[in-house]
């Protein structure tokens, strides 16, 4: 049975994605490729569609966080290099080999298990050796690496395809931490080479690192957020020329004239200060429209910004459209992204919500369908 969906959706602008990719490529040195990070459903933009688009734009290397995310791409027929940033958990080894997936390698026990599974199949598996150069999260610390390297060389089932680390503070433009991390990274890379290993790929930089910090020894960089048009931090606003890829829209389901004094939504946290025209949109916090936008959010309607009034509900929000001329039921409101040369950015949402644009994009829920606007 076919039917019309609730008029709430996300437009994904693939030409903006292409523009942002070009910005990332411009930041790469001539010996570097982009490894596009498409974890968390491509930061909420839809992993399969975004990956396919990036393939068309020439990208051949991708990273996801989990095995499930990798399998989603494989099952869609995406056969490119796939790095799994979450590594390989016990019991997943066979699937990694079966689907030709590359885990990051961050501990010796996993190395042994992957090696055993590869040898059992008379095969080898490519891994990217992950070192902790100062992030304080996962990976081999220098002393552990020193101890492990002789062992690692004996594991014939493993190919050390890559050597990598991750930056903790690259989004702070004057951070000394990043300089220390770069030194540690190169020091550990030298340890690996001295042990006789020659990783084909070397990579350190996320979006912030790529934008602000070089890596002459790197063959890859791993941008995520800038591909989607978000800033690594507000400090980058003047350095990067990015376009929003995600545009969240919802159309007016009901218009109501309320007399002065009327309470609006749960708790009556808003009262009409005059006779007011209120538009109701079929979207709410269950869709990722944060409840903190109660009496604080904004939408773009007929070329102007209009405020959210009252509490955001699970499935509805209310907007004051009293000053919009010609407003009608069915008019569509842009809540995130741009319309008519006006925009509400993910960075702006992040500031209002005291978070980062990464979380803003990831949280736009699965209940909202994505529509892909193809490149002209």
Ligand X SMILES: *Cc1c(COP(=O)(O)O)cnc(C)c1O
Q: Which residue numbers belong to the known binding site?
A: 137, 314
Q: Closer CB to ligand X, residue 106 or residue 321? A: 106
Q: Closer CB to ligand X, residue 222 or residue 249? A: 222
Cβ pair 125, 157 in contact under 8 A: yes
* Binding-site residue positions for substrate: 137, 314
Catalytic annotation on 39? yes
Residue nearest to ligand X (CB): 224
Confirm or reject binding of residue 219 to ligand X (CB under 6 A). Answer: no
Show Cβ contacts of residue 3 under 8 Å, excluding neighbours closer than 6 positions: none
Confirm or reject binding of residue 166 to ligand X (CB under 6 A). Answer: yes
Q: Is 274 left (phi over 0), alpha (psi -120 to 50) or beta?
A: beta
State the nearest-atom distance from the C-beta of 206 to ligand X, in Å. 4
Catalytic annotation on 323? no
State the nearest-atom distance from the C-beta of 224 to ligand X, in Å. 3
DSSP output for 163-229: EE---SSTTSTT-HHHHHHHHHHHHHHHHHHHTT---SEEE---HHHHHH---TT-SEE---GGGGT
Of residues 122, 130, 266, 311, which has the active-site annotation?
266
Confirm or reject binding of residue 222 to ligand X (CB under 6 A). Answer: yes
Give the integer Cα–Cα distance in Å for 9 and 104.
Answer: 35
Confirm or reject binding of residue 85 to ligand X (CB under 6 A). Answer: yes
Cβ pair 2, 362 in contact under 8 A: no
Q: Is 312 left (phi over 0), alpha (psi -120 to 50) or beta?
A: beta
Q: According to CB under 6 A, which one of 133, 182, 206, 211 is a site residue for ligand X?
A: 206
Confirm or reject binding of residue 128 to ligand X (CB under 6 A). Answer: no
Tallying the residues shown for the chain, one arrives at 376
Enumerate residues 250-269 that contact ligand X by CB under 6 A.
Answer: none
Confirm or reject binding of residue 18 to ligand X (CB under 6 A). Answer: no
- Name the residues that contact ligand X, by CB under 6 A: 37, 39, 85, 166, 206-208, 222-225, 232
């Amino acid at each position: 049975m076919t039917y019309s969906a609730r008029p709430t959706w996300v437009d994904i602008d693939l030409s903006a994605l292409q523009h942002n990719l070009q910005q990332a490529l411009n930041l790469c040195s001539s010996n570097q490729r982009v490894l596009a990070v498409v974890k968390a459903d491509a930061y909420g933009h839809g992993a399969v569609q975004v990956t396919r688009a990036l393939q068309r734009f020439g990208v051949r290397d991708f990273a996801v966080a989990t095995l499930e995310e990798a399998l989603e791409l494989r099952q869609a027929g995406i056969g490119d290099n796939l790095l799994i940033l979450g590594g390989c958990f016990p019991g997943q080894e066979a699937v990694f080999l079966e689907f030709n997936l590359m885990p990051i390698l961050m501990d010796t026990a996993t190395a042994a298990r992957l090696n055993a599974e590869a040898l059992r199949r008379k095969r080898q598996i490519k891994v990217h050796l992950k070192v902790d150069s100062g992030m304080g999260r996962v990976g081999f610390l220098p002393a552990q690496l020193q101890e492990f390297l002789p062992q690692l060389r004996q594991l014939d089932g493993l190919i050390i395809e890559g050597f990598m680390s991750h930056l903790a503070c690259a989004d702070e433009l004057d951070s000394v931490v990043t300089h220390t991390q770069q030194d540690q990274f190169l020091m550990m890379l030298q340890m690996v080479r001295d042990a006789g290993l020659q990783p084909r790929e070397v990579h350190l930089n996320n979006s912030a690192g790529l934008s602000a910090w070089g890596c002459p020894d790197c063959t890859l960089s791993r941008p995520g957020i800038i591909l989607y048009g978000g800033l690594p931090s507000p400090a980058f606003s003047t350095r990067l020329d990015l376009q929003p890829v995600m545009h969240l829209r919802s159309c007016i389901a009901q218009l109501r004239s309320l007399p002065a004094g009327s309470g609006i939504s749960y708790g009556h946290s808003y009262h009409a200060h005059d006779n007011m025209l209120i538009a109701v949109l079929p979207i709410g916090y269950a869709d990722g429209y944060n409840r903190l936008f109660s009496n604080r959010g904004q939408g773009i309607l007929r070329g102007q910004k209009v405020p959210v009034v009252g509490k955001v509900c699970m499935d509805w929000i209310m907007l004051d459209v009293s000053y919009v001329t010609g407003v009608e039921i069915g008019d569509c409101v842009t809540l995130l992204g741009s319309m008519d040369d006006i925009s509400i950015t993910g960075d702006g949402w992040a500031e209002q919500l005291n978070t980062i644009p990464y979380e803003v994009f990831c949280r736009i829920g699965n209940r909202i369908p994505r529509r892909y606007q193809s490149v002209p």
